[in-house]
C-alpha cells in the first residue's frame, strides 16, 4: 500500500511526465511509421526517387499529425510548443512533397534535412524538460541527436547517390523508430504508476 501511495504521489509531482505518459501511444505510432518507412526503403531499394519522395511525404505528414495530436492532448502545464513545432514542420514537409512533386531532388533533400534538424532539436529540448522530472531519459535525447545527425548529413552531402540516399533514409528511419518505440514503452510503464 505504501509503494502504491508513494508512486502516485511521485507521479503527481511530475506533470510533464504524466502528460507524456498518458499519450505514450503517440510515440509508439510515430516509431512504427518510421520503421515502416525504413523497411520499405530496404525491401524495395530500386524504387524511383519520386516514389521515395511520396513515401517520405506520407511519413512526414503522419508524423506531423501525430506530434500535433500529442501536443494538443497533453494536459500538463509544461510548454508543449516543441512538439507543436515538430508537428508543424512534419506537416509542412509532407504537404510540400505532395504540392510540388516536381521539386528538384536537391531542394527536397534540403527540406528533409531542415525538417530532421528541427525535429531533432525540438526532441532534445523536450527531453531536457523531461529530465527535470525523471532521471536518465536518454532515449528521447538520443533520437533527437540521431535526427540532427541525419539532417546534417543530408544538408552537407546532398549529392549522395539515389541508392545511398534510400539506404540512409531507411537506416535513419529504422533506428529513429526503434528509439521512439523504446521511449513509448518507458512512458507506458509510467502511465501505469499514475493509476
Q: Give domain limits for the chain.
A: 2-193
Backbone angles phi, psi at 75, to 5 degrees: -100, 65
Q: Categorize the per-residue pLDDT at 154 as very low, low, confident or very high, splitting at 50, 70 and 90.
A: confident
Element (H, E) at 27: helix 24-43
CA of 137: how far to CAs of 29, 130, 152, in Å? 19, 7, 24
First to last CA, the chain: 13
Residue 75 has pLDDT above 60, yes or no: no
pLDDT, tens only, 111-133 = 778 888 988 888 888 888 777 77
Query: What's 104's DSSP letter?
Result: -
Spatial distance between the Cα atoms of 63 and 55, rounded to a whole number of angstroms: 12
Mean pLDDT computed over every residue of the chain:
77
Residue 73 has pLDDT above 50, yes or no: yes
Would the pTM of this model clear 0.85, i.e. be above it? Answer: no
Which pLDDT score is estimated for 170? Answer: 87
Amino acid at each position: 500500500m505504501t509503494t502504491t501511495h508513494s508512486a502516485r504521489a511521485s507521479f503527481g509531482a511530475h506533470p510533464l511526465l504524466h502528460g507524456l505518459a498518458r499519450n505514450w501511444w503517440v510515440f509508439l505510432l510515430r516509431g512504427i511509421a518510421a520503421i515502416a518507412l525504413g523497411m520499405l526503403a530496404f525491401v524495395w531499394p530500386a524504387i524511383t526517387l519520386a516514389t521515395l519522395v511520396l513515401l517520405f511525404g506520407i511519413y512526414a505528414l503522419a508524423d506531423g499529425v501525430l506530434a500535433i495530436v500529442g501536443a494538443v492532448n497533453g494536459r500538463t502545464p509544461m510548454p508543449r510548443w516543441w512538439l507543436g513545432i515538430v508537428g508543424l514542420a512534419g506537416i509542412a514537409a509532407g504537404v510540400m512533397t505532395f504540392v510540388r512533386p516536381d521539386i528538384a531532388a536537391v531542394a527536397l533533400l534540403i527540406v528533409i534535412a531542415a525538417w530532421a534538424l528541427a525535429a531533432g532539436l525540438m526532441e532534445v529540448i523536450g527531453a531536457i524538460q523531461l529530465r527535470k522530472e525523471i532521471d536518465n531519459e536518454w532515449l528521447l535525447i538520443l533520437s533527437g541527436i540521431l535526427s540532427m545527425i541525419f539532417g546534417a548529413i543530408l544538408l552537407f552531402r546532398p549529392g549522395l547517390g539515389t541508392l545511398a540516399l534510400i539506404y540512409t533514409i531507411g537506416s535513419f528511419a529504422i533506428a529513429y523508430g526503434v528509439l521512439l518505440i523504446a521511449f513509448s514503452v518507458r512512458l507506458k510503464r509510467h502511465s501505469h504508476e499514475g493509476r
